């Protein structure tokens, strides 16, 4: 009834286990995915030209989107350069005023006490910026240019701290890692449920903290040609997973099986076990919700290609009742088993029933 997929390196071979019906399919090579199994979108933007300036207009988001190594490099370089520049300005004031030549003269009143070279000027800036306290080095009232530089340093330091520390905080608090504990089954299955042919896959939450207002969506990515002759290489079509009934709103405290009913409105209306072997499509699954502990929106993604859709399979149960609680066995999360499933499509089934109905009417 169903075809088992065996992976040999980069090739996928279809092996049929049903002796009654024999379908032969060629060996398929692993093709390019639009969305990887881990949710990463396999899309790169090129030839932007002058549009790259748009990244600088939203510099904060650009820094947040950078990888951690670039964030840390920019963080270190920005502070290092700012410290060296400001320390040089304090040294220049001391040099212009001649304070460097009276470093140990007790009768002389400098702009900044005990600043007589660049290292001492650098230490004074660090003490001021970090509010460590002066003690040995301090600014005097007979230095108006030093007071102006002190005000400028305070304003610039506040802006740099707010920008960089805010960027690092936002990046650390991003809920991307929360998506790592949201699981999707390795394969999707097609079998009957409540007398209807359905496409199903499983989702689960590994953490005890809940996903508030969790919602799931599915997109079918498939090339097609319009009646006008326009070719759409990555056309996106919505798969109904319970919008009208509210089944797309998930209470994700235990693994759930998401179901797409194959009906005349479904893009899989004419999909059969035989045609599945020759199809090329990708089902993108998007799970969104609010992280209970942080209140931030989290999104997890995965995809299923035609080689990852098993016809005539059903997921093994993972829930069991223990003393006082329900237990989830995640070792069986991806496991499936074969069930009797008609190998023909819903369209063929309806045409067959319609033909039988007309035949019975004609006989009477």
pLDDT tens-digit readout, 174-206: 777 777 889 999 999 999 999 899 999 999 998
Q: What is the per-residue pLDDT for 170?
A: 83
Q: Which of 52-56, 209-213, 235-239 has the highest mean pLDDT?
A: 235-239
Inform me whether the pLDDT recorded for 256 exceeds 90: yes
Share of the chain above pLDDT 90, in %: 27
Inform me whether the pLDDT recorded for 11 exceeds 70: no
Q: What gap in Å lies between CA 264 and CA 300, rounded to an integer?
A: 29
pLDDT band (50, 70, 90) for residue 316:
very high
Residues forming beta bridges with residue 287, ordered by sequence position: 216, 300
Q: What is the per-residue pLDDT for 50?
A: 66
Of the CA atoms within 13 Å of residue 50, those in its CB half-sphere come to 0
pLDDT band (50, 70, 90) for residue 62:
confident
Question: Which comes out higher in pLDDT, residue 12 or 179?
Answer: 179
Global pTM exceeds 0.75: no
Q: What gap in Å lies between CA 12 and CA 29, rounded to an integer?
A: 6
Residues of the chain with CATH 2.60.40.1400: 178-356
Token pair recorded at residue 170 = 């936002």
Inform me whether the pLDDT recorded for 20 exceeds 50: no
Token pair recorded at residue 141 = 């009232």
What letter does residue 78 receive in the DSSP assignment? Answer: H
For 300-306, what is the mean pLDDT?
92
Q: Which of 13-27, 145-159, 304-318 has the highest mean pLDDT?
A: 304-318
Q: What is the per-residue pLDDT for 2?
A: 35
H-run or E-run covering 62: helix 59-65
For 131-139, what is the mean pLDDT?
73
Q: Which of 354, 282, 281, 344 is nearest to 312 (CA)?
A: 344
Q: What is the per-residue pLDDT for 17?
A: 35
Strands 309-311 and 188-193: what pairing? parallel
Inform me whether the pLDDT recorded for 21 exceeds 60: no
Residues of the chain with CATH 1.10.287.70: 58-173
What's phi and psi for 86, nearest 5 deg? -70, -40
Please state, in angstroms and as integers, the Cα–Cα distance from residue 313 to each residue in 20, 201, 238, 257, following that order. 17, 11, 23, 13
Q: What is the per-residue pLDDT for 360?
A: 55
Q: What is the per-residue pLDDT for 18?
A: 41
pLDDT band (50, 70, 90) for residue 340:
very high
Would you call 33 helix, strand, or coil by DSSP? coil
pLDDT, the chain, mean: 82
For the range 119-123, what are the long-range contacts, defined as Cβ-Cβ under 8 Å and sequence gap of 24 or more? Answer: 121/87, 121/88, 121/90, 121/91, 121/94, 122/83, 122/84, 122/87, 122/91
For 62-71, what is the mean pLDDT?
85
Q: What is the per-residue pLDDT for 52?
A: 67
Q: What gap in Å lies between CA 111 and CA 100, rounded to an integer?
A: 10
Give CATH superfamily name and number for 178-356.
Answer: G protein-activated inward rectifier potassium channel 1 (2.60.40.1400)
Burial class (CB in 10 A: 0-12, 13-18, 19+), 191: buried
pLDDT band (50, 70, 90) for residue 133:
low
For 40-46, what is the mean pLDDT?
80
Q: What is the per-residue pLDDT for 126?
A: 86
CATH number, domain 58-173: 1.10.287.70
Question: Which comes out higher in pLDDT, residue 324 or 215?
Answer: 215
pLDDT band (50, 70, 90) for residue 110:
confident
């Amino acid at each position: 009834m169903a075809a088992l997929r065996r992976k040999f390196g980069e090739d996928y071979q279809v092996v049929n286990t049903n002796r009654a019906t024999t379908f032969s399919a060629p060996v398929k090579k692993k093709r390019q995915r639009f969305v990887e199994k881990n949710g990463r979108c396999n899309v790169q933007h090129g030839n932007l030209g002058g549009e790259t300036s748009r990244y600088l207009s939203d510099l904060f988001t650009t820094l947040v989107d950078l990888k951690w190594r670039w964030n840390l490099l920019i963080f270190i370089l920005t502070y290092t350069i700012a410290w060296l520049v400001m320390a040089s300005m304090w040294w220049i004031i001391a040099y212009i005023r001649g304070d460097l030549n009276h470093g140990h003269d007790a009768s002389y009143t400098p702009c900044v006490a005990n600043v007589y070279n660049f290292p001492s000027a650098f230490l004074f800036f660090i003490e001021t910026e970090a509010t460590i306290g002066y003690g040995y080095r301090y600014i005097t009232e007979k230095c108006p240019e030093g007071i102006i530089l002190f005000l400028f340093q305070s304003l610039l330091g506040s802006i740099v701290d707010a920008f960089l520390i805010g960027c690092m905080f936002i990046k650390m608090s991003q809920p991307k890692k929360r998506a790592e504990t949201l699981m999707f089954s390795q394969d999707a299955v097609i079998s009957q449920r409540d007398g209807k042919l359905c496409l199903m896959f499983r989702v689960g939450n590994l953490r005890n903290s809940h996903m508030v207002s969790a919602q799931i969506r599915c997109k079918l990515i498939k090339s097609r040609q319009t009646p006008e002759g326009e070719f759409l290489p990555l056309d996106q079509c919505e798969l109904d997973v319970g919008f009208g009934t509210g089944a797309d709103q998930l209470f994700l405290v235990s693994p759930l099986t998401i179901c797409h009913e194959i009906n005349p409105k479904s893009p899989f209306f004419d999909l059969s076990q035989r045609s599945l072997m020759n199809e090329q499509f990708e089902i993108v699954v998007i799970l969104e919700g609010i992280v209970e502990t942080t209140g931030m929106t989290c999104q997890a993604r995965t995809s299923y290609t035609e080689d990852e859709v098993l016809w005539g399979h059903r997921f093994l149960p993972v829930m069991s009742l223990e003393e006082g609680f329900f237990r989830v066995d995640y070792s069986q999360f991806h496991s499936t088993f074969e069930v009797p499933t008609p190998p023909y499509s819903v369209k063929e089934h309806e045409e067959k029933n319609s033909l039988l109905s007309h035949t019975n009417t004609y006989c009477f």
